[in-house]
Structure 1
Amino acid sequence: MTTEEILNFVHDLIYQQFSGEGTGHDYFHIERVVKTAVRIAKEEKADFFLVELAAWLHDVGDHKLNGGIDKSEEQITAILKQVNTPSETIAKVIDIVSQVSFSKGKVAESLEAKIVQDADRLDAIGAIGIARAFAFGGSKLREIHNPEKPAETSVKHFYDKLLKLKDKMNTNTGRAIAEQRHQYLENFLQRFYKEWNGED
């Protein structure tokens, strides 16, 4: 199998597996992460194939989608073995994916892991990030906002995670993109509270 054939196979499988997913971790999220990761990889001079492959697979087996159990290593291995991917490549992809998740709190080590982590985090901020935050909150039956119980709402997620991501970017390219998206988050929250309080 050529690298192009491996990527095409993985793309088709991800499309089948993640289309229609309703928490914000759907096929289009993964596709956006791939596009952003490839964009950053070009600027940062990274291994395009490893970056793109890991980006396509970064949500496979994720604990959020598997009842709290991380199955990424076994599921990624099973997928890549179907197309005779070299063991060394499989190990590198698994290593990259293991470092991506915000909730795991790992520091990305390789350039490729830094890029995929940045791309995934960038999709959690800006206009798309706002939409995803409320989609995920809705899937968990969380209120949008409740001043009496703020800890149990989707807006609280902005403070727990989204507003922190700008300062956690690994690459210069990621930081530049994050600046604009972070500002959009702050502008949204200012407008949100104005409307919530009937001040506009």
Structure 2
Amino acid sequence: MSNETLTAVHDFARSKMRDDETGHGFDHIQRVVGLADRLLTAYPAADRLLTLTAAYLHDVIDEKLVTDTQAASAEVRDFLSAHDFSATQQDTIFLIMDNMSFHKTLDGTAKPLPLEGQIVQDADRLDAIGAIGIARALYFGGHFGEKIYDPAVAPRTQMTHAEYRNLGGETVINHFYEKLLTLKDLMNTAAAKGLAEHRQQVMLDFLTEFKDEWQAKR
């Protein structure tokens, strides 16, 4: 398959995600693809087409972003078939998309990912942390009407999938402790772990500064 195939995948993903207002828009998709492509240089054994296709499409069928995941999945299948992806390739892409989300780690239902999926998952998690991660967390929280911070509300631990999706009483700052700060240690590849170190420190520095300013210490 040629670069024309990836261009078609790019255009399809853009048509689905360009109007997103939760921090999962096409700008996010492009960064995940860019990070995945960067990670691929360290893992030449990974299939580049499958990796980047999954990176482009990973949010198109996400339950938190679409109202009918079955219809969205069928549309993706039709698109992939129309662009000559084999049944085996399609199954690999869907395996990645269906098992890379953070919530899958909460209920233990995630299936093992191939190297291509590990790279996409790492790229997606890298875009959830660091300076970009801070901005996206604030943007997501504002979209859903979350409070920025409430010192009286402790971060949740050992959440179920349902509890994770329940934003009632959730605060943006708690989301760092409940998810974002845990992602560094969940990276699959050594290359992603190296990139995550700096982004982790950016978030820790932000939280320290935020709480000092919240208490009028600075």
Alignment correspondent of 2:135:
131
Alignment correspondent of 1:141:
145
Alignment correspondent of 1:193:
211
What amino acid sits opposite 1:85 in the alignment? Answer: F
> Does the CA contact (< 8 Å) of 2:9 and 2:56 recur in 1?
yes
Question: Structure 2 matches for 1:22-41, cutoff 5 A?
Answer: 22-41=21-40
> Does the CA contact (< 8 Å) of 2:17 and 2:60 recur in 1?
no
Deviates more, 1:142-151 or 1:122-131: 142-151
Alignment correspondent of 1:165:
183
Q: Work out whether 1:57 is the aligned partner of 2:75.
A: no
Alignment correspondent of 2:170:
152
Structure 2 regions of 5+ residues with no counterpart? Answer: 155-168
Whole-Å Cα distance in 2 between the matches of residues 3 and 86 of structure 1?
Answer: 15
- The Cα of 1:107 is off from its aligned counterpart by 5.5
> Does the CA contact (< 8 Å) of 2:16 and 2:60 recur in 1?
no
**Candidates 124, 139, 154, aligned match of 1:120:** 124
Structure 1 regions of 5+ residues with no counterpart? Answer: none
- The Cα of 1:117 is off from its aligned counterpart by 0.5
- The Cα of 1:56 is off from its aligned counterpart by 0.4
CA offsets 1:60-94 (integer angstroms, 9 cap, x no match):
11101124x64464332122123232222111111
Give SS of 1:33's match.
helix
Runs of 4+ in 1 over 3 A off after TM superposition: 69-73, 148-151
Please tell me the root mean square deviation across aligned C-alpha atoms, in Å.
Answer: 1.5
TM-score (norm 1): 0.93
Q: Work out whether 1:77 is the aligned partner of 2:77.
A: yes
Give SS of 1:43's match.
coil
Count of aligned residue pairs for this structure pair: 198
CA offsets 1:122-177 (integer angstroms, 9 cap, x no match):
00000000011111111111011122345521111101100000000000000000
CA offsets 1:94-121 (integer angstroms, 9 cap, x no match):
1121221111222543111110010000
Alignment correspondent of 2:199:
181
> Does the CA contact (< 8 Å) of 1:6 and 1:85 recur in 2?
no
TM-score (norm 2): 0.85
Query: Percent identity between the aligned chains?
Result: 41
